[in-house]
Structure 1
Amino acid sequence: MPKIRVGDLNVNYQIQGTGEPLLLIIGLSFSLLDWGTVLPDLLAQHYKVILFDNRDAGETSRSPHPYTIAQMADDAANLLDVLGESKAHIFGVSMGGMIAQHFALNHANKLDKLILGCTAAGGTCSEFGDVSGLLTGNLLDLLFTPAFIQSHQSDLTTFLQTTSPFHSQGPALQRQFQAMSTHDTCHLLSKITAPTLVITGDRDPVIPPQNSDLLAQKIPGARQVTITNASHGFCFSHPDDTATAVINFLK
């Protein structure tokens, strides 16, 4: 995959499709591969889909210093600049949704529409579940329902074999965790002006659905879609439902 110089980083990225740019921002530790192939392919039938690895993840550079979620949003904005995109739709999931919130607050002039997936405002207004699976490598229980795991064992084995070598580890993972731990938009959500869609799975144990309820309540005019029988990894397990929600919103 190509890499591009963005500030002090070499950013790994991928572009699919044509049309209005849609930047996808992935979550903690993960790389662009963790979107799977189905959802990006579906979205690329309608938009120019830009995927990338955050700093300290995938094949993007390891960060030379600690950073904040707001600085990760700056990375995304700078990537768009380097790619020659003056404005884009933004779809962020989990930590990527936190990055997307700061993008909306700090780079509103570069944002068309905002999509926040399985994410939270942080601070004192959020409730987080158990993310220890990220440290132990037991990712499937975090991302998918027991029924989905049982019926897709072969696909999920292949998925993990493909994606896990690119997950953040050691100091890189610690820096991402530290950045996420300082994220707090509880009192800033009313300042988000972009049209916003909030998506969650109804059985998410990592960032429970009530966090999405709060985002939808606090962001002016936000719409909300809840995907049934879906967990934190709904983009992979329910790509058709996710694509339909995103495309209908962006029309």
Structure 2
Amino acid sequence: MPRLIANGLDIHYERTGQGPRLLFISGTGGDLRVRPNMLDGPFARAFDLVAYDQRGLGQTEKPDHPYSMADYADDAAGLMDSLGWEDALVIGVSFGGMVAQNLVVRHPGRVRRLVLACTSPGGAGGASFPFHDIGHLKGEARARHLLPVNDTRLDAAWAAANPERYAEAIAQAAADPFAGEPGREMGARRQIEARAGHDVWADLPAVRTPVMIAAGRHDGIAPPQSQLNLALALRGSVLRFFEGGHMFMLQDRSAVPAMVDFLLQGDALAGT
């Protein structure tokens, strides 16, 4: 089980593939033990790919004190230091996209090209869905609340017309194979608390890293307007909408190849 000390934290990570260096930053509740995941797909075939469990999650250390978005960004930079990576390509998905924005703001020289997937800038640019407001919802109740937010097409009418698919989706979303582990609930709560404070809106116009913004047309967690705002703030960025909701990377088969193509652009990446 590979581990490194980064930013004073014991971090679990996994590494696979060959090619340009790519750091993958996962979303809310991300846990590398849940398979298949990004390590099993096209990113691992095109890049020297590193993914990791963020603080408070999975098999990474779970300190019981408040976390900040700066902590998460510095964890990512610290992991790169421990790997001996001066810089890397970066993709951040959902909450991971918030971390990636903070990373490129706080450590701009470390990010060569950046993909922000289904995420939001916060502040006046628009926030993603407020998970901190539904902390009281657990299990199936939480899954029922979030399903039509994850994909706005999956509303009450869809649920009534597709009872078996609805029941399957709820059961899948409610399942937690690692429930009850020491520190799991606390760490997840600390992440949500940090997420509520995400706001880099005023800092984004200074970013000069090439950025692709990738989003789902039917995403209610990271709404389309937030994606348009990101594109306006990040000068020269590329904005692509795909068919799907918050999980558009699984729903639209053209999404991940488009991200791979963007990350591989540029003669400067050759041989790295």
Structure 1: 5+ residue stretches without partners = none
Residue 91 of structure 1 aligns to a residue whose secondary structure is strand
Alpha-carbon distance in structure 2 between the residues aligned to 1:166 and 1:87: 37
Q: Equivalent residue for 2:196?
A: 181
* TM-score under structure 2 length normalisation: 0.80
Equivalent residue runs for 1:147-162 within 5 Å: none
Partner of 1:231: 245
Aligned pairs for 1:1-251 (under 5 A) are: 1-33=1-33, 36-37=36-37, 40-129=40-129, 131=131, 132=134, 135-137=137-139, 138-139=142-143, 141=147, 142-143=149-150, 146=154, 165=179, 169-228=184-243, 230-238=244-252, 240-251=253-264
Cα deviations by residue, 1:190-223 (Å, 9 ceiling, x for unpaired): 0111000001111112121211111011101000
Structure 1 residue identity aligned to 2:111: L
Query: Counterparts of 1:19 and 1:135 in 2: how far apart (Å)?
Result: 42
For residues 81-131 of structure 1, what are the alpha-carbon distances to aligned partners after superposition, in whole Å with 9 as ceiling and x for unaligned?
111111111111111111100111111111110111111111233144364
Distance across 1 between alignment mates of 2:51 and 2:185: 24
Deviation at 1:44, TM superposition (A): 1.3
Shift of 1:5: 1.8
Report the CA distance shift for 1:11/1:126 in structure 2 as closer, same or farther (over 3 A). same
User: Using a 3 Å threshold, how does the CA distance of structure 1 residues 221 and 99 change in structure 2: closer, same or farther?
Assistant: same
CA distance in 1, matches of 2:27, 2:212: 17
Deviation at 1:158, TM superposition (A): 6.8
Shift in Å at residue 135 of structure 1?
4.2
Residues 136, 14 of structure 1: CA spacing in aligned structure 2 closer, same or farther, 3 A cutoff?
same
Aligned residue-pair number:
249
Provide the rounded CA distance (Å) in 2 between the counterparts of 1:133 and 1:67.
17
**SS of the residue 1:65 aligns to:** coil
Distance 1:104 1:40, change over 3 A: farther
C-alpha contact 1:33 1:163 (8 A) present in aligned 2:
no
TM-score by length of 1: 0.86
What's the CA shift string for 1:53-75, capped at 9, x where partnerless? 10001111102421211111100
> Unpaired segments of 5 or more residues in structure 2?
265-272
Q: Which protein is bigger by CA-based radius of gyration?
A: 2
Look up the equivalent residue of 2:259 and give its one-letter code: V
SS in 1 for 2:202: coil
